[in-house]
Structure 1
C-alpha cells in the first residue's frame, strides 16, 4: 500500500524533505502516520543519510521578526517601507514576548500575524538548517537553545528576532 510520500532534496537548503505526490503536501518533518521502517523504505530515502553521515547537525526553529529602517531590506509582506527605529522594533517584540510568555501556540499565532518574514505563513517555521546557513547571531542564538526554548531578542542584519527552537 503506497502512502504517496517520498523524500526529496531541497534545492535551496540542501537538506531532505517529505513530499506527498498524491496530495502535493510537503513537510520538513516526517509524516506522523509513518513508522521509522516505512520512512526508510520510501522512494528517495537515500537522501536522509547522505547529509548526516558527515556529522552535519541540523536544528529546526521558528522566529518572529520585526524589521526596522536599518534592516538589510526595510520592507515586508505587510509594509512596503519600514520606517521604525531599531529601538521601536525591540519594543514591539517585547510586547509580543509579554503576550506569548512560554506558549508555543501563542508565539506561532503572533508570528503568523505579525512577523516581517515570509515564514509568517508557516507560523514562523524556518524548517531545518545547519551551521553556516543563517546569519551568525541568529545561528548562535538558535543552536544555543534547547528544544522548546525561546531566545531573548536577537539582532541581525535582517532585523530583531525572537527564536523558538522546535527540533
Structure 2
C-alpha cells in the first residue's frame, strides 16, 4: 500500500507528491507508480486533467492543464535578450536555432525527463534552468500561443520540434 498523496504548494502554485510514511516531498511522480495509481492517489485532483467528475467539459479529449519543461535559447531579437548565463545576447535567431538543434541531436530520439532536465539546467537561457527547465502545470492562456499549442499537442513524454516565440527558440518536453 502506497503512502503517497498529492498536495498543492501555495508558494509555487504547483502540485507535488508527499509520502506520509517518510515525510518525503518530490515534484516529479514517484518512480514505480503507474498513471492509474497516480490518478488514484489522495489529492490527485490537484494534478489537473484527471478523470474526475469535476474535470469539466465533455467526454475526454484535451487536458485542462499540462506540465512541461523546456530548453530556451535566446537571440538578439528576443523580448529580453539577456539571461542568467549572458548579460547581453547578440546571437542571431538562426544561430539560436542551430544551437538548439545541436542540443536536440545530443538528446537523441527518445530522451528521458532526466536527460532533458540535465541539458536544460546547463544550456537553457530561462531561469527555469534551475529546475531542469520545469515550468510546472499551466492552463491554456498562460503561455505564448506557439508554446502553448506545441505543449498541449504533445503526448506525455513527447518532445516538440523547434518552437519560436517572442522569448526565443525552444524545444519542449511534456512531462504531465
TM-score between both structures, scaled by the size of structure 2 = 0.72
1:64-79, aligned counterparts within 5 Å? 64-79=71-86
Cα offset, 1:48, TM superposition? 3.0
Alignment partner of 2:119: what SS?
Answer: helix
Alignment partner of 1:88: what SS?
Answer: helix
Matched, 1:117 2:126: yes
1:48 equivalent in structure 2: 46
CA displacement, residues 106-148 of structure 1 (integer Å, 9 cap, x when unaligned): 3222111100011112111111111111111000011111112
Distance 1:23 1:148 in 2: 28
Alignment partner of 2:83: what SS?
Answer: coil
2:116 equivalent in structure 1: 107
Please report the RMSD computed on the Cα atoms of aligned residues, expressed in angstroms: 3.3
Q: 1:101 to 1:33 in 2, by over 3 A?
A: closer
Distance 1:50 1:90 in 2: 32
1:132 equivalent in structure 2: 141
1:142 to 144, 151, 171: 151
Unaligned stretches of 5+ residues in structure 2: 57-62
Unaligned stretches of 5+ residues in structure 1: none
Cα offset, 1:16, TM superposition? 3.9
Distance 1:69 1:46 in 2: 42
Distance 1:99 1:49 in 2: 31
Cα offset, 1:160, TM superposition? 0.5
1:153 equivalent in structure 2: 162
Q: How many residues align?
A: 161
Matched, 1:162 2:160: no
